[in-house]
């Protein structure tokens, strides 16, 4: 973090102004005693307030005239006296100057009246002390300013705390550097409200009375000193200039904290009359001298100051030490001299007036006592620094957060764009690849077609005649459909193909005749149906509840001469075979042989369908599968398949063969006895349920075969390929019926695992399907299997490379 260091130029203006001691004279009205005693005499003074003059009668015809700063008549109100005498001083104190208000005069002339009246009964009587403190307090701001008060009495050079009278020997300590006087130990009471001002003065007055009683003296012999300390915090922002970067806008931002300490001293002096005149207190002379030492020292100091003497004997008394700043010092000082009108006290009045006159000549140099508040500045700067640090950290954090946020957003956006781009790219790539693959596929098919067409042309040329119903447009697909999926086109010589076709035609004709005869036979048998209801009842009873005798009986009925009986019997056996629990017994009782016999002997399709269903059920059991094989089951099932028209029959046969296809042990036999070809023959029936069974059979076979190849039991191309199943497999690999598709996809994957099949798979178009399976197959395991196979079988890899398909 970068800390800003500002160079602060602190300018301080301390005012020093000349300020002469201001002196007012106040004339007390005649008191009752004077009214009486002086009734016949004129006052010795005549006041001319408008001229600020006072005439002191010398005798009946002569008088001396004196000018004062203010002349206050006997009618002057306390308020006016305050405003004229004290208020300017109070204002100066509030401005930071020291101030002094002092009353001087003969006992009984109204010093205490002028300064100390509390105005309990009548607020207008309030004297200068109360009014000053009230004005000061009213002007202060409680948060930043303090006002504390001490109230002392000086008697016989002893300083006593009027707020704590027990503290009666307070030392006066002067600061050698600046001459500031302090009174360690004097009680300082903080003024917190207007009410406490009066209470404090009341306590002080009471203590003054009590102290005087104790000392057997009068208040007129002691000096009362009220000290009001004012401490104000002043913020002078204009004085603080930041020069950082020469940036003027920061000029007033920092402030200079200043503490102004000022002090108002209100002194109610002891009576100024000479000691000998008032020696009635019974003090010894020395004591009397001591009593007035401070007062006479004050007079001497004032004289010295008035005459501009080099030496002013401030140190002679405690009072002058305390008032050093008030006369000839830095304070604004106002003196009120009080006089009475009585001619009897003319001498005292005269000396009072002369004291006042001399005091008027004292020049002070008013100076604000201002202290630079380093503590406060340091505190403020620390706080400001803390704030700046916190703000900076906050901004830094906010900035970092913002950067992070922007970063994150940018990253998210980049990631999103990249993702979208990658997706789009991948889609585009796949699309191109698929298009490319389709194109290649199409081209290769065209190539095959052209070759076939070429062969075909050769064939026509060789034989001169052709059965167009079979050979028109001999592409693989249409050929397969026409030939029922059993007879496969061979690329051998054209003549042998023609023989095969002729043979097939013959077979077909024979079969048709047979079917016709069989249908006639069925009709005949149906007419006998009514006769055998009894037998049917018997069968239906036994179909649900069977004992071995019953089973034997039913099985024997399978060989009945009566076709209806046979039909019903085979239905019962099929029902029984559907339950796994019966299967073993049926086989043991020779049921399987009987059922196979039905396939062999009878051409009634219902019988064969039901028998095939029963065999399919029995073929679910592995133990029966070999038996079925040994008894030539495959051949019989193949025959049934090639004869049957009914999809149900075909479904049963296909189901039975599919079950057998799942047996590793009979794999070879199954194939050699034409199992696969039988399955392929069945596909001529387009019924999805039938195709699904075929597909299952092929998948089972492919799986067993793959296992056998892996175990080294079998070598060479897949029998499925050998037996021509590949075209159908490829054709149905993406069949819309999910069960068919799933079985074929699996079969393809098994086939593809063996390098030996790869070439055929490629030429048969299976590669495309494998690629599709690896991408689109809904089953993840098959998808992965296809992917693994494509990337591990080298023929595929090179073909994919040749086709420029990334894998
Ligand atoms: P000092 O303190 O100078 O000895 P005080 O203030 O005690 O004199 O006054 C003596 C008496 O004169 C008191 O009773 C006081 O009330 C009365 N007095 C003084 N000045 C005035 C005045 N201006 N108006 C009316 N009474 C006054
Ligand atoms: Mg008094």
Q: What confidence tens digit (pLDDT) does each residue in 98-139 have?
A: 999 999 999 999 999 999 999 988 999 999 999 999 999 999
User: What is residue 254's predicted lDDT score, i.e. its pLDDT?
Assistant: 57
Looking at the structure, do residues 355 and 423 belong to the same domain, yes or no? Answer: no
User: Which CATH number do you get for residue 72?
Assistant: 3.40.850.10
Please tell me whether residues 683 and 723 are part of one structural domain.
no
The number of the ligand nearest the C-alpha atom of 273 reads 1
| Backbone phi, psi, residue 230, to 5° | -115, 130
| Domain identity same for 364 and 413 | no
Q: How far apart are the first and last CA of the chain?
A: 56
Ligand 1 atom at shortest distance from the alpha carbon of 74: 23
Q: Which residues pair with 722 in a beta bridge?
A: none
**CA–centroid distance, residue 108 to ligand 1 (Å):** 6
pLDDT value of position 433: 75
215 and 88 housed in the same domain: yes
pLDDT at 716 over 50: yes
Choose one of 25, 27, 28 to mutate for the ligand 1 pocket test, by most ligand atoms within 8 angstroms of C-beta.
28
Smallest CA-to-CA distance from 564 within 586, 539, 597, 589 is with 539
Question: Average per-residue pLDDT in the chain?
Answer: 83
Same domain, 405 and 280: no
- Tell how far the Cα of 205 is from the centroid of ligand 1, in angstroms: 15
Flag whether 187 is in a domain.
Answer: yes
Residue that the structure tokens 């239906």 belong to: 540
Nearest atom in ligand 1 to the alpha carbon of residue 268 is: 2
State whether the beta carbon of 31 lies less than 6 angstroms from ligand 1. yes
Same domain, 428 and 573: no
Would you say residue 463 has pLDDT above 50? no
Please check if 105 is assigned to a binding site. yes
Q: Is the CB of 341 within 6 Å of ligand 1? A: no
Quick one: which atom of ligand 1 is closest to the CA of 113? 6
What ligand has the least distance to the C-alpha of 205?
2
Q: Ligand 1 within 6 A of 218 CB? A: no
Q: Which token pair is 392?
A: 């900076």
In a domain, 17, yes or no: no
The CB of 119 under 6 Å from ligand 1? The reply is no
Residue to substitute in 80, 103, 108 for testing ligand 1 pocket (most ligand atoms within 8 angstroms of CB):
108
CA dist., res. 509 & res. 515, Å (int)? 10
25 CA → ligand 1 middle, Å: 14
pLDDT for the residue 491: 41
Residue holding tokens 């050093």?
324
The 10s digit of each residue's pLDDT in 653-690 is 999 999 999 999 999 999 999 999 999 999 998 899 99
Task: For residues 128 and 230, state if they share a domain.
Answer: yes
Q: Determine the Cα angle at 286 with ends 282 and 288, to 5°.
A: 50
Strands 158-161 and 146-155 turn out to be antiparallel
Ligand 2 mean position, distance from CA 446 (Å): 141
Q: In whole angstroms, give the CA distance from residue 128 to residue 106.
A: 18
Nearest ligand atom owner, CA of 104: 1
CA distance 662 to 669: 13
**Chain segment 439-457, per-residue pLDDT in tens:** 877 887 788 788 877 776 6
Predicted confidence (pLDDT) per residue in 490-504, tens digit: 344 444 566 767 777
Do the domain assignments include residue 2?
no
- Domain end point (choices 447, 468, 491): 447
Round to whole Å and give the CA distance between 336 and 322: 18
Comparison of pLDDT for 469 and 245, the residue scoring more: 245
28 lines ligand 1 (CB under 6 A): yes
The answer on pLDDT for 277 being more than 50 is: no
Q: Find, among 263, 39, 297, the residue nearest to 149 by Cα.
A: 263
- Cβ of 73 below 6 Å from ligand 1: no
Give yes or no for residue 272 CB within 6 A of ligand 1: no
**Residue 403 covered by a domain:** yes
540-592 confidence digits (pLDDT tens): 444 444 556 678 888 888 888 888 888 888 888 888 888 888 888 888 888 88
Which range marks the domain in which residue 439 is found?
Answer: 375-447
Check pocket membership of 242 for ligand 1, CB cut-off 6 A.
no
Residue 657 CA to residue 701 CA, distance in Å, equals 10
190 and 309 both lie in a single domain: yes
Token couple for 116: 């100390």
Structure tokens at 165: 């009278």
| Residue 72 in domain | yes
- Beta carbon of 352 within 6 Å of any ligand 1 atom: no
Tell whether residue 338 is among the known ligand binding residues: no
pLDDT digits (tens, 9 = 90+) for 248-272: 444 445 567 788 899 999 999 999 8
Q: Which residue has the tokens 């003497």?
A: 309
**Candidate from 110, 120, 270 with most ligand 1 atoms within 8 A of CB, to mutate:** 110
Distance 321 CA to ligand 2 centre (A): 22
How many domains does the chain divide into? 4
| Residue 29 CA, ligand 1 centroid: distance in Å | 9
- Spatial distance between the Cα atoms of 317 and 214, rounded to a whole number of angstroms: 24
Q: Concatenated DSSP letters for 349-378?
A: HHHHHHHHHHHTT-EEEEEB-EEE-HHHHH
- Element housing 85 (H / E): none
Determine contact, residues 773/786, Cβ cutoff 8 Å.
yes
Ligand 2 midpoint to CA 114 (Å): 9
769 and 648, same structural domain?
no
Q: Cβ(642)–Cβ(657) under 8 Å?
A: no
- For the chain, how big is the Rg over CA atoms in Å? 69
Atom of ligand 1 nearest to the CA of 114: 6
- The answer to whether residues 297 and 399 belong to one domain is no
Average pLDDT of the residues in 29-53 = 87
Residue nearest atom 20 in ligand 1 by C-alpha distance: 110
- Tell whether 106 is in a known binding site: yes
pTM of the model: 0.50
Flag whether 110 is marked binding.
yes
Please tell me whether 632 is known to bind a ligand.
no
Give Cα separations from 439 to 110, 433, 449, 733, 771 (angstroms): 132, 10, 15, 19, 15
d(C-alpha 569, C-alpha 594), whole Å? 11
* Ligand 1 atom with the shortest distance to the CA of 109: 3
- Tell me how far the alpha carbon of residue 649 lies from the centroid of ligand 1, in angstroms: 147
Q: What is the pLDDT, as a whole number, of residue 11?
A: 33
pLDDT at position 336: 98
616 within domain boundaries: yes
Is the residue at 485 inside a domain? Answer: no
Ligand number nearest to the C-alpha of 209: 2
Task: Choose one of 426, 447, 468: the last residue of a domain.
Answer: 447
pLDDT tens digits for 476-490?
333 333 333 333 333
Give distance in angstroms: CA of 218 to centre of ligand 2: 9
Q: Is 97 in the pocket of ligand 1 (CB under 6 A)?
A: no
Q: Whose CA is nearest to atom 16 of ligand 1?
A: 113
pLDDT digits (tens, 9 = 90+) for 599-644: 888 668 888 888 899 999 999 888 899 999 998 899 889 888 888 8
Instruction: Quote the percentage of the chain above a pLDDT of 90.
Output: 45
What is the per-residue pLDDT for 473?
35
d(CA 480, CA 683): 10
Residue 299 CA, ligand 1 centroid: distance in Å = 23
| Residues making up the chain, counted from first to last | 807
CATH number for 742: 1.25.10.10
606 is in an annotated binding site: no
Give the integer Cα–Cα distance in Å for 699 and 108: 140
- Domain endpoint, select from 389, 413, 447: 447
Do residue 288 and residue 420 come from a single domain? no
Find tokens 């059965």 and name the residue: 467
The pLDDT tens digits of the residues spanning 288-306 come to 667 678 998 999 999 999 9
Q: Would you say residue 402 lies in a domain?
A: yes
The whole-number pLDDT of residue 528 equals 54
Q: Please check whether residues 89 and 57 belong to one and the same domain.
A: yes
Centre of ligand 2 to C-alpha 267, Å, is: 11
């Amino acid at each position: 973090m970068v800390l800003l260091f500002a160079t602060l130029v602190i300018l301080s203006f301390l005012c020093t102004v000349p300020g002469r001691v201001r002196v007012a004279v106040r004339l007390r009205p005649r008191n009752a005693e004077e009214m009486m005693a002086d009734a016949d005499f004129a006052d010795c003074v005549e006041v001319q307030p408008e001229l600020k003059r006072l005439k002191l009668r010398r005798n009946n015809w002569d008088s001396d005239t004196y000018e004062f700063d203010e002349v206050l008549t006997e009618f002057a109100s306390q308020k006016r006296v305050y405003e004229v005498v004290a208020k300017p001083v109070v204002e100066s104190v509030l401005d930071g100057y020291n101030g002094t208000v002092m009353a001087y005069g003969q006992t009984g002339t109204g010093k205490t009246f002028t300064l100390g009246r509390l105005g309990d009964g009548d607020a207008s009587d309030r004297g200068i002390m109360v009014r000053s403190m009230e004005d000061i307090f009213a002007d202060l701001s409680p948060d930043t300013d303090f006002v504390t008060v001490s109230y002392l009495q000086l008697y016989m050079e002893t300083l006593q705390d009027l707020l704590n009278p027990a503290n009666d020997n307070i030392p006066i300590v002067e600061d050698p550097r600046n001459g500031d006087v302090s009174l360690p130990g004097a009680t300082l009471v903080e003024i917190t409200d207007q009410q406490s001002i009066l209470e404090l003065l009341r306590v002080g007055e009471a203590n003054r009375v009590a102290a005087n009683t104790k000392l057997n003296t009068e208040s007129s012999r002691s000096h009362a000193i009220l000290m009001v300390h004012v401490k104000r915090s002043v913020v002078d922002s204009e004085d603080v200039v930041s020069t950082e970067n020469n940036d003027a806008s920061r000029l007033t931002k920092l402030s200079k904290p200043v503490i102004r300490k000022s002090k108002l001293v209100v002194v109610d002096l002891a009576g100024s009359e000479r000691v000998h005149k008032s020696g009635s207190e019974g003090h010894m002379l020395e004591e009397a001298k001591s009593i007035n030492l401070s007062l006479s020292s004050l007079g001497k100091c004032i004289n010295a100051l008035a005459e501009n003497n080099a030496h002013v004997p401030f140190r002679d008394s405690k009072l002058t030490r305390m008032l050093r700043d008030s006369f000839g010092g830095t304070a604004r000082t106002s003196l009120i001299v009080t006089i009475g009108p009585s001619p009897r006290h003319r001498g005292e009045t005269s000396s009072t007036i002369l004291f006042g006159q001399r005091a008027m000549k004292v020049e002070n140099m008013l100076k604000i006592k201002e202290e630079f508040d380093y503590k406060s500045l340091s505190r403020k700067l620390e706080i400001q620094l803390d704030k700046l640090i916190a703000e900076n950290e906050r901004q830094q954090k906010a900035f970092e957060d913002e950067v992070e946020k922007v970063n994150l957003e940018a990253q998210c956006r980049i990631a999103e764009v990249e993702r979208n781009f990658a997706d789009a790219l991948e889609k585009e790539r796949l699309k191109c690849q698929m298009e490319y693959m389709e194109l290649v596929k199409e081209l290769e098919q065209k190539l095959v077609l052209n070759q076939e067409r070429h062969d075909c042309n050769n064939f026509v040329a060789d034989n001169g005649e052709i059965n167009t119903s079979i050979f028109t447009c001999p592409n693989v697909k249409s050929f397969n459909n026409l030939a029922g999926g059993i007879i496969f086109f061979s690329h051998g010589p054209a003549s042998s193909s023609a023989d095969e076709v002729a043979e097939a035609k013959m077979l077909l004709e024979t079969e048709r005749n047979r079917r016709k005869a069989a249908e006639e036979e069925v009709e005949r048998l149906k007419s006998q149906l009514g006769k055998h209801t009894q037998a049917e009842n018997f069968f239906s009873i036994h179909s649900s509840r069977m004992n071995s005798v019953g089973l034997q009986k039913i099985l024997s009925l399978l060989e009945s001469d009566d076709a209806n009986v046979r039909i019903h019997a085979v239905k019962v056996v099929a029902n029984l075979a559907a339950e796994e629990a019966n299967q073993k017994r049926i086989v043991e009782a020779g049921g399987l042989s009987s059922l196979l016999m039905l396939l062999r002997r009878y051409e009634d399709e219902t019988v064969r369908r039901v028998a095939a269903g029963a065999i399919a059920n029995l073929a679910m059991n592995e133990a029966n599968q070999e038996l079925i094989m040994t008894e030539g089951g495959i051949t019989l099932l193949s025959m049934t398949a090639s004869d049957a028209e009914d999809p149900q029959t075909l479904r049963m046969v296909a189901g039975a063969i599919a079950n057998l296809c799942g047996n590793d042990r009979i794999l070879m036999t199954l194939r050699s006895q034409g199992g696969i070809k039988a399955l392929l023959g069945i596909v001529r029936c387009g019924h999805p349920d039938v195709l699904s069974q075929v597909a299952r059979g092929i998948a089972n076979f492919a799986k067993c075969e793959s296992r056998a190849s892996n175990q080294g039991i079998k070598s060479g191309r897949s029998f499925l390929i050998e037996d021509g199943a590949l075209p159908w497999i490829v054709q149905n690999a993406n069949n819309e019926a999910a069960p068919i598709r799933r079985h074929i996809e699996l079969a393809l994957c098994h086939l593809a695992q063996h390098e030996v099949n790869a070439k055929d798979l490629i030429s048969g178009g299976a590669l495309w399907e494998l690629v599709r399976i690896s991408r689109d197959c809904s089953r993840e395991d098959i998808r992965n299997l296809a992917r693994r196979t494509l990337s591990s079988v080298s023929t595929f890899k090179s073909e994919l490379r040749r086709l420029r398909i990334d894998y």
